[in-house]
Amino acid sequence: MQAQASPANSRKLLLSRIEAETLQERDLLCPVCGFRIQTLYSDISGHLRVKCPKCKGIHILNLAYFRKIKRIKRNIGSLTPESKK
């Protein structure tokens, strides 16, 4: 038999699911072995204690440090004075 959520919690679950549809997902990988620990959404921040099911390590992660940053590639040569000649 499966437990049922209260009407108030059911409403919160539905709202959470609707809000998450517009967010980007990213994987959180174990810093030791690279195993995917869980999936996070783009609005998450702070610290998280996780246990890797593969290497059994328990880690406290600052999520800001474990985020891939997409960098904009610039053509540095086009910004030099010689290129304006």
Residue 5's pLDDT is 87
Dihedral sign for Cα atoms in the order 22, 7, 40, 63: positive
- Residue ranges per structural domain of the chain: 25-68
Contacts of residue 60, Cβ cutoff 8 Å, sequence gap at least 6? 47, 48, 49
Residue 54's pLDDT is 96
59 Cα distance to chain centroid: 16
Residue 75's pLDDT is 58
Cα–Cα nearest to 38, from 27, 48, 46, 30: 27
pTM > 0.85: no
* Residue 80 per-residue DSSP state: S
| pLDDT band at residue 74 using 50, 70 and 90 as cut-offs | low
| Tokens (6 digits) for 60 | 């406290």
Among 5-9, 14-18, 63-67, the range scoring the smallest mean pLDDT is 63-67
Question: What would the mean pLDDT of 28-36 be, rounded to a whole number?
Answer: 92
User: Are 74 and 83 within 8 A, CB to CB?
Assistant: no
Residue 65's pLDDT is 85
